[in-house]
Amino acid sequence: MLPETTLDAARDLLAALEARGLTLATAESCTGGLIAAALTAIAGSSAVVTGGFVTYSNAAKARMVGVREETLAAHGAVSEPVAREMAEGALAAAGADIALSCTGIAGPGGATPGKPVGLVFIGCARRGGPTTVERHDFPGDRTAVRAATVAAALHLADRMAAAPG
């Protein structure tokens, strides 16, 4: 179950997108579809949400949203360049106006030197505009990291939707 504050953020984002005539897609790794779930929990979200990709494996990132093998090899799945390519690939694949992506280490395992549990990159691409990627170091267990990622992604998309363009 998603917290009410997350559902409120999803409602606000959907309203902002609809008011501007914008659509949104997602490409998610560490959240496993929770961003899309938060958005589609709201009745009427189909007016805005075009679709979502759960790209948990590297192969899915490459196949579904076009993340380049070279990027994955050079930077690893949990990186700014991969989050950027995921967002831009989802934008193209879904035909949306805005696309959100996330890749990270939710834990409890998976940490490596320089990439601790809680490290998450959230990307947001806008058709005809910039792609923004934020780095976060979220505290807590797997559930807390995933919940914080969803909330931060919704807020990032809200800021991108409000930007001129």
Helix axis angle for 142-162 and 4-20, nearest 10°, is 20
C-alpha torsion angle, residues 38, 106, 135, 156 (rounded to 10): 0
- Helix, strand, coil distribution of the chain in percent, nearest 5: 45, 20, 30
Please report the pLDDT score of residue 48 as a whole number.
98
Give the model confidence (pLDDT) of 88-131 as tens digits: 999 999 999 999 999 999 999 999 999 999 999 999 999 999 99
Task: Say if residues 108 and 142 touch (Cβ distance below 8 Å).
Answer: yes
Residue 131 to residue 160: CA distance in whole angstroms? 9
Q: Give Cα separations from 1 to 23, 48, 64, 104 (angstroms).
A: 25, 22, 27, 21
Residue 83 has pLDDT above 70, yes or no: yes
Q: Which CATH class is domain 4-162?
A: alpha beta
Order of strands across the sheet that contains 119-126 = 49-54, 24-28, 98-104, 119-126, 131-137
Q: Domain extents for the chain?
A: 4-162
Token reading at 30: 């560490």
Structure confidence at residue 164 (pLDDT): 80
- Give me the mean pLDDT over the 54-75 stretch: 98
pLDDT recorded at residue 1: 65
- At residue 95, φ and ψ (nearest 5 deg) are 65, 30
pLDDT in tens, 137-152: 999 999 999 999 999 9
pTM value?
Answer: 0.97
**How much of the chain exceeds pLDDT 90, in percent?**
96
pLDDT of residue 50: 98
pLDDT at position 3: 86
Residue 34 has pLDDT above 80, yes or no: yes
Report how far apart, in Å, the C-alpha atoms of 162 and of each of 22, 67, 98, 122 are.
11, 27, 11, 18
C-alpha Rg value of the chain to the nearest Å: 14
Average pLDDT, the chain: 96
CB 45 within 8 A of CB 14: yes
| pLDDT over 90 at 163, yes or no | no
